[in-house]
Structure 1
Amino acid sequence: MPRPAATRSPHSAAAGRAPARGGKPHTIRIIGGNWKRTPLPVLDLDGLRPTPDRVRETLFNWLGQDLDGLRCLDLFAGSGALGFEAASRGAARVLMVERNARAAAQLRANQQRLDARNIEIAEADALRLAAGLAPGSFDVIFLDPPFGDEALLARALDVAAPLAAPDGAIYVECGDPLEPARIDALSGWSVVREGKAGAVRYHLLRRQNEE
């Protein structure tokens, strides 16, 4: 359900938008792993744009269907679509960061519903929290900041890159293709996969010496 000016996460220190349509819940569906086909409630908040099923399916084909033992960071968690999908597929640890209090509460409710002990939820500013994490502590980092906020995306990439393990990956979802200059600024990273679905552009980054 991509919407060009929206964001999957109402994280939005940057967005600062109010809930839409009363914040009533709808659902997302986990598409693979232990919780395959499980529907999860998602609040209908302005700016909350869950990653579409077809994009998630493509992403986890790129990453491999099993994420057994991997450590994942969902930095602008929003609906939690990416983080719950990773946890379902065997990730050892999934840290979801979400600033919006209502969205974070829904993430916790869904975590409890699944009894997902491999998931941690932090209600916090994404960039501030990320700045305090240990370098090299994640194998997969998901970045889906508010669409159109290029400055926030640049800061998120700069903060995320040191957090990735040497053979780790960064997934970026945004409204426009990543600019080559933005990737060059990361020093040593390159886009190894990319795609488009409606208004959503998505990219998988790895270090240049990694396949």
Structure 2
Amino acid sequence: MHNPNNHNISMKRQAKKISSTQGSIRIIAGQWRGRKLPVLDVEGLRPTTDRTKETLFNWLAPYIVGRHCLDAFAGSGGLGFEALSRHAASSVFVELDKTASQTIRQNCRTLALSEPQAVVLNKNIHDVLPTFKQQFDLIFADPPFNQGLIEPLLSKIAEYDLLAKGGLIYIETELANAAYPLPADWQLVKQRQTKQFCYRLFVREE
């Protein structure tokens, strides 16, 4: 005899399995302080840790308000959302993974963010960079590790003149790839490293 409860049990197990693939990121400060946003478990997705994010945004505190940001390799969108929470003027999120970009869009709706304040592009960052008609005051360059992505990204940012003079760029890499070429007018402002990765903040001289 068919037991209808078996179907309910199966559905509950399936729901539990789905929910277990979802984590969250936390906005540390600003207008959405303490807000948690869902993040799906996507291969290669590596949200910046709260500790690193807190250090970074302590560095950026005097520079955030009114800035136009680019969150390249956006992943969870955590850096762009943190900047917007702290009253950045806008953030462009570029993320190749369709599921991750859909989650960023959903989180934008949750926070009542719309274009042009928040723009989500489900595209390859290298295809998008030549199309930008604006410069950015703040760029987050935090690609997946061990895929050789940082050098071509920085090269194209410089080639297409996307970092405004006086603008800042945050670069996070694994230690093995922490020696990358930079334009002569990008000067180191701050840096830290852990056993696994290195993160630095540069300014483009005016």
User: Would you say same fold, with TM above 0.5?
Assistant: yes
How big is the shift at 1:69? 1.1
Mapped to 1, the partners of 2:99 and 2:165 lie a distance apart of 35
Tell me if the contact between 2:45 and 2:144 (Cα under 8 Å) persists in the aligned partners: no
Aligned to 2:197: 200
Aligned to 2:120: 121
Q: How does 1:142-153 map to 2 (within 5 A)?
A: 142-150=140-148, 152-153=149-150
Q: How does 1:30-109 map to 2 (within 5 A)?
A: 30-64=27-61, 67-109=64-106
More helix by share: 2
Q: Which amino acid aligns with 1:148?
A: N
How big is the shift at 1:149? 2.6
Higher relative contact order (CA 8 A, sep 6+): 1
Aligned to 2:8: none
Partner SS for 1:64: helix
Tell me if the contact between 1:66 and 1:89 (Cα under 8 Å) persists in the aligned partners: no
Count how many residue pairs are aligned between Structure 1 and Structure 2.
184
Structure 1 stretches of at least 4 aligned residues deviating more than 4 Å after TM superposition: none
Q: Which amino acid aligns with 2:131?
A: G
Partner SS for 2:129: helix
TM-score norm. by structure 2 comes to: 0.83
How big is the shift at 1:65? 5.7
Using the aligned pairs only, state the percent identity: 39
Gaps of 5+ in 2: 1-16
Mapped to 2, the partners of 1:121 and 1:169 lie a distance apart of 21
Gaps of 5+ in 1: 1-20
| Greater C-alpha Rg | 2
How big is the shift at 1:190? 2.4
How big is the shift at 1:198? 4.4
Mapped to 1, the partners of 2:40 and 2:195 lie a distance apart of 22
Structure 1 vs Structure 2 CA RMSD: 1.9
Find the partner of 1:26 among 9, 23, 28.
23
How big is the shift at 1:66? 6.3
Q: Which amino acid aligns with 1:128?
A: D
Mapped to 1, the partners of 2:86 and 2:126 lie a distance apart of 26
Q: Would you say 1:140 and 2:138 are equivalent positions?
A: yes
How big is the shift at 1:40? 0.4
Q: Which amino acid aligns with 1:31?
A: I
